[in-house]
Amino acid sequence: MKIAIASDHAGFRLKEALKPALKELNVEADDLGTYDENSVDYPDYAEKVAKGVASGEYERGILICGTGLGMCISANKVPGVRAVTVNDEFSARMSRAHNNANVLTMGERVVGPGLAADIIKVWLETEFEGGRHSRRVDKMTALEDSSRG
Ligand code: RB5
């Protein structure tokens, strides 16, 4: 699986800490920045990952900021993106199985590196269940389409 990962300055250390975990999972992860702890604006990095996922260049995306929240709000502005902020393994599993989430966001100020590694493992390995959940995901897409200006 090919994914994109990015963070702002507040998520930089967690992004770096997750790289060995991604390698262990045999996931090819393109790091789209930021590359140090200098202050940046999280929507710029959410845009890179979200557009990469929406275009099909990447199957999934991972975004990290201080809380995961700004990244999630920003990523969800891109049509085709279903971003979720996840801070526990149960939500990670359900966001894939029921919501077919394609972008995961986390907060470095919320989760430690051990839990974050467990979360990405569950999230990357859980398949969408389809069935009745497809109808609901399709309705989310329809809502997105009908809300366009
Ligand atoms: C940066 O201070 C912080 O606001 C950002 O990383 C994120 O938590 C926003 O949602």
List the domains of the chain with CATH numbers: 2-147 (3.40.1400.10)
- In the β-sheet with 60-65, what is the strand arrangement from edge to edge? 28-31, 2-7, 60-65, 103-107, 83-85
pLDDT in tens, 11-29: 999 999 999 999 999 999 9
**Does ligand 1 have an atom closer than 6 angstroms to the CB of 42?**
yes
Quickly state the pLDDT bin for 149 (edges 50, 70, 90): confident
Choosing from 9, 72, 98, 133, the catalytic residue is 98
Residue 67 C-alpha to ligand 1 middle, in angstroms?
6
Count CB neighbours of 41 within 10 A.
13
Quickly state the pLDDT bin for 130 (edges 50, 70, 90): very high
**Does ligand 1 have an atom closer than 6 angstroms to the CB of 8?**
yes
Statement: residue 148 has pLDDT above 90: no
